[in-house]
Amino acid sequence: MNHVIHYQQDADKIVTLTLDIPGQATNTMNAAYREAMKNTIIRLENNLDNIAGIIITSAKETFCAGGDLNELSEQVAASTFYQMVNDIKQPLRQLETLGKPVVAAINGAALGGGFELALSAHYRICLNQPSIQLGLPEVTLGLLPAAGGITRMVRLLGIEAALPYIQQGKKFNPQQGQQIGVIHELADSPVALVNQAKSWIKANPEATQPWDKPGYKIPGGIPSSPQLAQKLMIAPAMLIAKTKGCLPAPEKILCAAVEGAQVDFDTAYDIESRHFVSLATGSVAKNMITALWHQLNHINSGQSRPQSIATTKTEKVGIIGAGMMGAGIAYVTAKAGIPVVLKDISIDKAEQGKDYSRRLLKKQVQQGRLSAEVAANILEKIQCTTVNTDFHGCDLVIEAVFEDRQLKAQVTQAAAQQLATTAVIASNTSTLPITGLAQVIKQQQQFIGLHFFSPVDKMPLVEIIRGKQTSETTLAKAFDFVKQLRKTPIVVNDSRGFFTSRVFGRYCLEGLALLQEGVAPALLEREAVKAGMPVGPLAVIDEVSLRLIARIRDQEKADCEQAGIPFTPATGYDVLDKLLIEYDRKGRAAGKGFYDYPQQGKKQLWPNLVQLFPNTTTVAKADIAERLLFIQSIESLRCLEESVLESVADANIGSLFGLGFPVWTGGVLQYINYYGLQALINRATELAEKYGERFQPPALLLDTYKTGNFFF
C-alpha cells in the first residue's frame, strides 16, 4: 500500500494521500490502486479521532488518468466489471462521508476516473497551468464516467449544464473549471497548492458535500420540473439525430443522468454502475478502446518509425503551391513554430494562400482563444515568394500542386536545385506513386510522400508514404515533422492511391455504382450516414470535386497506357462523366455537383438526379449500408495483403482519422473482428455473387480465418 498511496500526517493532524503507482508514468485505478485505496480508507476510519482533514494529491506530473483500459479490454463477465467499478467508487463515497474535510490538490491532468476522484473531495484546488486538462472523456471510448462522475456532476451543475461534460466528453483547463464551478481555487505553485489545501481544511472543519446536506436540490430542477421536462422530451430525438443510433454511450449517459436525478445518491450511484457494465461488456466500447486507445498509443509511441534513427526537429519548411492544401499546410506548420516559405506563380496567389492563415488566426483572436500578439507571430513565420532561391535553408520542402505528374516533376526538380543535399523533399500527392515522382531528383532516398487531409487545420491525420528508394533517415525525419505538427502519422508503402485514397476511392465509386443501379440518391446518402459515415458518397465526391476524381482516373489511364498495362475503369465512372461532361457539374467549389448549393439556404440534392438515374432497384437497405462499409474493409485487406499497409493499427487509425470510417466499428479491420470472420466471409461472398467480384473475400481473410486469428 505504501508504494501506491503514500500516507503522511503532519503536526496539524492533516493527512496527505499521495498517489504514486509504481512502474507507471501516470496513476491509474488498477488493481493495485483499488486495494491500496480500500486499505487507506480503513486506516483513515480507524484513526478518525486524530485526523483534522485529508488532502489527495499526486507524486507524478499528472494527478490521475483514471481506469486501467488494459483491464477493460479483457473478456470478463458482467459481474466482474460491476465489482471492479464498485471497488473504485465505493471508497470514494466512504471518503466524502468520513465527516472530515477532504481537498483534492490537483497538480496535473485529471481525466476520467482521475477527475471523478477529485469530485469526491469537498473542495478542489488546481495548479494554475493552462496546459492542464480536466474532464470526463470516457464517452470518446464508448464508455461512461462510472466512478461517480455522472452522479456528482449532475448534483453539482444540474442535468442540462452537466451534459456537455459527461455526454460529449468536453475537456477544460483549470481556469475554465473555475468558471464552470467544478474547481474552487487555483494555486500558482505546487507548494502553494498544498498550503492552500491545508488552510481551507483548517477553516472548514465540518465540510460536507452539498448533496449530503438536508434540503439539497439539484440545480435546474429534477426531470419532472416543467421547464426541464420539456427539454428532456426532445433530448433523445436530438441525440439520435447526432449519433444515428450507432453510439450507445451518449444514450446510456443521458439515461443515467435523468434516472439518477430522480432518486437518492446511493441509488443513482448504482444506476451509473449498471449502465457502465452494459457498455463495458458491449462490442462498440471494445472496438473503440482497441483503436482509439491501444492502437493510437501504438502509433503515437513511434512504433512505425525507424527506432535506430535519432529524433530530429524540422527547422524551416518550403511549400510549393499556395492553393487549399498548400495554404493549410503552411498554417499548421507556422502554428507549430516552424518558419515557412510559401511559393506560387505570383505573389498575389501566394498572399491568397497566406490569407487562409490570416482568417483562421483572426477568428481565434476574436473568440479569445489566441492573443493578437501570438497570432501576429504565427503569421510572420509565413514568407510568400515566387522564386525557388528562397528555399535556401529549408530542410524540408513539400510539393502541394495539382495531381499532374508533369507539373509535379517540374516544380520539384526546380526546388531541389536550391536545397542542401541533406534536405528532404515531400509530395502531398493523394494518389501518384512516390517512387515515380522521386525519379526527377538525384537524391531519391530523400524523397517521401506526406499526404495531408482537407481541411488541414482540422484533420488530425498525415499519411506518410515510403517510396522504394526512401531511406530510413528520411522516414524518421518525416515522422518527427508530423509529430511536431501535433498530428497523427501513419506509415504506408508505395502504390497507386497508397492506403487512404484507395479506400476512399472505393467508397465513392461504390456510391456511384449504387446510384447507377437505381438506388434513390436521397436513400443512398441517408443509409451511408445511418451506418456511421460522416457524409454520403455523393456529398463527399462534391467536396473533393468531380473534376479531381476524373483527373486521378485520367492520370492512372495515361500511366497504364505508357506502361503497356490494360486499363479497366471501375464501375461508377459513367455516372461521374455524365454529370461532369454532359451537365458541367464539377462539385461544391463550382456551386453544383450531385447537390445544388444555393447562396441562401442548405445544400440540396440536384432534382434532375432522379430523372437521370430513376429509382428502379431492388437493392435492399441492408445491402446499401454493408456494400459501402464492406468495400472499404475489403480494399484495406488488399492493402495489407500487398504490404501497402504494414500494421493493423495504421489501417484502423487511418480509416477513422482520415476517412471518417464509422467510429463505432473501431476502424476498417476492427470492423471485421466485430462482424466475425466467418460471417463476413459468407456475407462478402453473397455480395460478390449479387454485385460483382470486387466483394470477393481476399486470400488474406480466408487464410486468417483458417488459422483462427483476428485482426488485432
Nearest to 463 by CA among 327, 291, 304, 673: 304
- What is the reported pLDDT for 176? 95
- What is the reported pLDDT for 566? 85
Q: Which of 142-146, 173-177, 551-555 has the lowest mean pLDDT?
A: 551-555
Q: What is the CATH code of the structural domain delimited by 5-281? A: 3.90.226.10
- In tens, the pLDDT along 125-172 reads 999 999 999 999 999 999 999 999 999 999 999 999 999 999 999 999
> Per-residue pLDDT for 73 more than 80?
no
> Per-residue pLDDT for 363 more than 90?
yes
- What is the reported pLDDT for 1? 46
pLDDT band at 72 (very low <50, low <70, confident <90, very high): confident
Looking at residue 655, the DSSP 8-state letter turns out to be: I
Every domain of the chain and the residues it spans? 5-281, 317-496, 501-643+676-707
> Per-residue pLDDT for 440 more than 50?
yes
Distance from C-alpha of 539 to C-alpha of 536, rounded to nearest angstrom: 5
C-beta of residue 228 within 8 angstroms of C-beta of residue 160: yes
Burial of 428 per CB tally in 10 Å (0-12, 13-18, 19+):
buried
In terms of DSSP bridges, do strands 317-320 and 134-135 run parallel, antiparallel, or are they unpaired? Answer: unpaired
Q: What is the CA radius of gyration of the chain?
A: 28
- What is the reported pLDDT for 349? 96
In terms of DSSP bridges, do strands 53-58 and 447-452 run parallel, antiparallel, or are they unpaired? Answer: unpaired
> Per-residue pLDDT for 439 more than 90?
yes
- In tens, the pLDDT along 490-510 reads 999 999 889 999 999 999 999
Classify 383 as helix, strand or coil.
strand
Q: Is the pTM of this model over 0.85?
A: yes
Averaged pLDDT for residues 82-111: 95
Per the prediction, the chain carries an average pLDDT of 93
- In tens, the pLDDT along 460-470 reads 999 999 999 99
- What is the reported pLDDT for 427? 96
Residue 237, CA distances (Å) to 254, 345, 581 in order: 12, 51, 42
> Per-residue pLDDT for 617 more than 80?
no
Averaged pLDDT for residues 500-525: 94
Averaged pLDDT for residues 105-126: 96
Q: Copy the grid coordinates of residue 245.
A: 443510433
Binning the chain into helix, strand and coil, the percentages to the nearest 5 are 55, 10, 35
> Per-residue pLDDT for 710 more than 70?
no
- What is the reported pLDDT for 479? 97
- In tens, the pLDDT along 245-300 reads 999 999 999 999 999 999 999 999 999 999 999 999 999 999 999 999 999 999 99
Nearest to 587 by CA among 253, 324, 301: 324
Averaged pLDDT for residues 351-376: 94
Averaged pLDDT for residues 8-15: 96
List of residues 6+ apart from 250 with CB closer than 8 A? 139, 167, 168, 239, 242, 243
Q: Which of 493-507, 515-529, 555-569 has the lowest mean pLDDT?
A: 555-569
- What is the reported pLDDT for 561? 82
Q: What is the CATH code of the structural domain delimited by 317-496? A: 3.40.50.720
> Per-residue pLDDT for 634 more than 50?
yes
pLDDT band at 567 (very low <50, low <70, confident <90, very high): confident
Distance from C-alpha of 482 to C-alpha of 450, rounded to nearest angstrom: 9
- What is the reported pLDDT for 560? 82
> Per-residue pLDDT for 385 more than 50?
yes
List of residues 6+ apart from 293 with CB closer than 8 A? 69, 141
Which DSSP helix (H) or strand (E) runs through 317? strand 317-320
pLDDT band at 81 (very low <50, low <70, confident <90, very high): confident
pLDDT band at 572 (very low <50, low <70, confident <90, very high): confident
Q: What is the dihedral of CA 399, 402, 407, 408, to 10 degrees?
A: 30
> Per-residue pLDDT for 332 more than 50?
yes
Nearest to 287 by CA among 632, 633, 663: 663
Pick from 60-74, 315-329, 561-575 the range whose average pLDDT is largest.
Answer: 315-329
- What is the reported pLDDT for 402? 86
> Per-residue pLDDT for 667 more than 90?
yes
Pick the CATH number of 501-643+676-707 from 3.20.110.10, 1.10.1040.50, 1.10.340.30, 3.50.50.60: 1.10.1040.50
